[in-house]
Amino acid sequence: MNIQSSLKRILLPTTTSCAVALSVCSNAFAQDALATEKPLPIRWQIEPLTLDANEGCAIGDIDGDSKLDIVAGRNWYASPQFTPRPLRNIDDWNGYIQSNGDFLLDVNRDGRLDVIAGSFIPTEIAWYENPGAEGLRLGHTWKRNLFLDTKASENEAQLMQDIDRDGIPDWIVNSWNKNNPMSIGRLVDNGNRDGKAASYTIEHKVIGKSGNQHGMGVGDINGDGRDDILLGHGWYEQPEKPWEAEWKFRPNWDIQGSIPMVVVDLDKDGKNDVIVGAGHDYGLYWWRQTGIKEDGSIEFDKKVIDKSFSQPHAIALADLDGDGRNEIITGKRYYAHNGGDPGGQDMPEIHAYSFVDGKFYRSPIERGHVGIGLQIATGDLNGDGRTDIAVAGKSGTYAILNLPTAP
């Protein structure tokens, strides 16, 4: 199927798009929501790239031309035309593909970005070597290299974040099974500089024998200056020596959360809050932190931002309108459980939320064609100084270009 011919380029001014989106669900869902409609001064140009079951994506300069490209599963897309070019072969699986995210890192330090990826059921983490200028020109697939076999299955998704703040991102895996161990893959510089083998080794650290569940985020939730790990069933408190000491697990909540659960001091009161979506139900929430109990558990005032669509499975923060404040970007993970979730058969959609003077404003980006998958990537894809968006999901892979409104 040629998605370019079946779905033409869509150019949407946010001032006229999707005004009825809040009425998708019954008013009972939305009546207590905080967000009101207020479009951003942006025209969204929707560029369809491909249609498959891939749900991961990333943005980075793949070919070294100083332009940001898109990586999404089987292909990468060179800016500015975004023509699909082969990257890796991935098997289909039960309505999904055997990959649950794309992450970019120059693994062998040859000056080119490589791709790191895991999967839902297979236990191996692999890195795919960028073939360089000639290989990219000729459309070569990228060489697969085993990074680590974790021996752990039932993997919902991953994050790559520098948990110990040593300047090297770490591999953090979430399982949908709350009884599975919680582990971190610590990336350590192994000193190799031959430009071929990996310059990093992954050391597998189990921080909890059980205490997992769908949903994951990274951030300093208790204000001690160290990044903690949030999961669907609670959070792990990072100790002073994260690779030696025990991580204390605090089962403060029980949800099927988004990945990521975003830790941010939204109201600038000095306490970090949590922005979280119900990954397989209706609801985008602001957990406003109100304090810490004597036993170390966190207290929240949990507020509904929006309940008009289901499956806000991924979230990103980015300043879309250039006002110095980040918007919250999320949408419907289309067919997340093959249409079996509440609202799973509804149309895909994607939105941006602004938080200004204590109020949430929702600005539709697109509804009816574009949903999300497991990752939302942001960056300046066309070199105009504005932040664009890339998404990949079962509604397709898209570049969403952020254009100024007409004068």
Residue 65 near residue 46, CB atoms below 8 Å: no
CA distances from 84 to 2, 49, 50, 364 (A): 12, 7, 8, 27
pLDDT tens by residue, the chain, 407 residues: 333 433 445 555 544 333 333 333 333 344 489 999 999 999 999 999 999 999 999 999 999 999 999 999 999 999 999 999 999 999 999 999 999 999 999 999 999 999 999 999 999 999 999 999 999 999 999 999 999 999 999 999 999 999 999 999 999 999 999 999 999 999 999 999 999 999 999 999 999 988 899 999 999 999 999 999 999 999 999 999 999 999 999 999 999 999 999 999 999 999 999 999 999 999 999 999 999 999 999 999 999 999 999 999 999 999 999 999 999 999 999 999 999 999 999 999 999 999 999 999 999 999 999 999 999 999 999 999 999 999 999 999 999 999 998 65
The pLDDT value recorded for residue 350 is 98
**Distance between CA atoms of residues 351 and 129, nearest Å:** 34
**Distance between CA atoms of residues 379 and 103, nearest Å:** 14
**Distance between CA atoms of residues 186 and 203, nearest Å:** 5
Q: Tell me the DSSP string of 58-80.
A: EEE-SSSSSS-EEEETTEEEETT
**Distance between CA atoms of residues 78 and 71, nearest Å:** 9
Q: Which of 216, 88, 205, 95 is nearest to 155 (CA)?
A: 216
Amino acid identity of residue 71, one-letter, is: V
The pLDDT value recorded for residue 1 is 37
Q: Which of 55, 2, 59, 13 is nearest to 331 (CA)?
A: 55
Residue 317 near residue 262, CB atoms below 8 Å: yes
Q: Tell me the DSSP string of 201-247.
A: EEEEEEEESS---S-EEEE-SSSSSS-EEEETTEEEEPPSSTTTSPP
Q: Which of 97, 247, 105 is nearest to 163 (CA)?
A: 247
CB atoms within 10 A of CB 269: 11
**3-class secondary structure per residue, 188-203:** EECCCCCCCCCCEEEE
Q: In what order do the strands lie in the sheet with 298-310?
A: 262-264, 273-277, 282-292, 298-310
Kindly report the pTM of this predicted structure: 0.92
Q: Which helix (H) or strand (E) holds 182?
A: strand 182-189
* Long-range contacts at 110-116 (CB < 8 A, ≥ 24 apart): 110/195, 110/196, 111/64, 112/62, 112/64, 113/60, 113/61, 113/62, 114/142, 115/58, 115/71, 115/87, 115/88, 115/142, 116/147, 116/160, 116/171
> Residue 158 forms beta bridges with which residues?
173
Q: The tokens of 338 are what? A: 């093959």
**Distance between CA atoms of residues 386 and 380, nearest Å:** 6
The pLDDT value recorded for residue 211 is 84
Calculate the CA 366 to chain-centre distance. Answer: 18
**Distance between CA atoms of residues 110 and 98, nearest Å:** 28
φ, ψ of residue 133 to 5 degrees: the values are -55, -50
Residue 58 near residue 114, CB atoms below 8 Å: no
Q: Which of 359, 242, 365, 377 is nearest to 303 (CA)?
A: 359
**Distance between CA atoms of residues 100 and 329, nearest Å:** 19
**Distance between CA atoms of residues 92 and 256, nearest Å:** 25
**Distance between CA atoms of residues 9 and 284, nearest Å:** 29
Widest pairwise Cα distance in the chain: 62
